[in-house]
Structure 1
């Protein structure tokens, strides 16, 4: 079986910059083990496997070198840029084309902005944030980021860090100053 795989640098206009993602624009016929092995071989943070459903809907799967994950922001941007750039998603002269990705985190819209028939940018919808946990033991964060408890919060108010998710869990750590 022949599989086309691309490495795309996301969030940059310069080669070898940004955040790399592996992109498989047509993953029809690949088994889970094939996807995992390809991601392991690519050995970058995420490899994206795209299974077209119709011209506006795509099943998207994200694999790290060791496991599948529910969602990947830079992988999504890279995947839909690649689909549009390579003509899998037909370009329009000027305007926005909205398509949808079906992921393990849900169905999310993706907007592809075209200018003079070229991809200008790609934006993705996020699921509504869900608070998963309030972090009460902040000592590991203080040590990890080399900050003091008094650095955490907004204004004069201490606000506990939280674990939130729009598809993948992240830590929100409110800091009083942006230069901390």
Structure 2
């Protein structure tokens, strides 16, 4: 199996979020996909199978489990596909639904990909789950930003959204991996989207991912899409909006995610970024 290694949401191989990409996984059994992802060791590896209609089936595996959708691996896969076959539009069929992606070659020679998520939605975060989550994070209710209330948000995968007022509080992340991982497995949450608002459209984020066997994601496109839907549904941003999400800085892997939030409440959220090969 030909595994390519890319890093998404950066043009610097030392930043961003690494992803494995297999552009032809036809005929591989689930156990083989899981074993390859575990060997690669990145937060996700994407496996592509071409369909007879010219579209693509894409599955995503972390080192420990399959996930329904992964944003950074989608960006990496689209760029890898464009480098092999040329830029253009792709239709990716994921477990979460159809995700459309476009790629374009920039003046700097880097390829940018933009995905449009499935329709986002939010749900209340139960008070007892919030208490368990804060205890696992070793945070308190006093750390939270009342302007960005806790919710669970979806745009292909479920992510609790927890906002704090202090950038320093976000930078001091030191959580109980076992306790948080247990809660997330119980609730089928993919990552926890921890955010801090710098300005009306600029945010900082961190994303613990213990169910996947990963302490933290340097860039999480699925969570960024879910967060865009959360802001729209709760009327917390002027629409249409273009958001900038900085992630990975506190890990030494700076990542830049651009999120476009259309005004139409039923539309998907666009997530844009670059990716470069590590091989």
- Pick the TM interval, shorter chain: 0.7 to 0.9
Alignment match, 2:25: 27
**2:141 aligns with one of 144, 149, 173:** 149
Q: TM-score, normalised by structure 2?
A: 0.54
Q: Given that residues 135 and 163 in structure 1 are in contact (C-alpha distance below 8 angstroms), is that contact kept between their aligned partners in structure 2?
A: no
Other-structure match for 2:132: 140
- Of 167, 173, 179, the match for 2:156: 167
Distance 1:17 1:76 in 2: 17
Runs of 4+ in 1 over 6 A off after TM superposition: none
Task: Give the deviation of 1:129 after TM superposition.
Answer: 1.9
In terms of fraction of residues, the more helix-rich structure is 2
Over aligned residue pairs, what C-alpha RMSD do you find? 2.5
Unaligned runs of 5+ in 1: 92-96
Task: Output aligned runs, 1:90-101, within 5 Å.
Answer: 90-91=86-87, 97-101=88-92
Corresponding residue SS for 1:174: strand
Instruction: Return 5+ residue gaps in structure 2 as ranges.
Output: 170-279
Report deviation, 1:83: 0.6
> 1:112-146: CA deviations, max 9, x gaps?
12246x55310111122222442313333444455
1:73 and 1:175 map into 2 onto residues whose CA distance is 23
SS of match in other structure, 2:127: coil
- Greater relative contact order (Cα < 8 A, sep 6+): 2
CA drift at 1:162: 1.4
When residues 66 and 177 of structure 1 are mapped into structure 2, their CA distance, relative to the original with a 3 A threshold, is closer
Work out which of the residue numbers 52, 61, 64 in structure 2 matches 1:63. 61
Alignment partner of 2:34 out of 33, 36, 47: 36
Residue 179 (structure 2) aligns with? none
TM-score, normalised relative to structure 1:
0.80
- Correspondence for 2:101: 110
Distance 1:119 1:98, change over 3 A: farther
Rg larger in 1 or in 2? 1
Shift of 1:43: 1.6
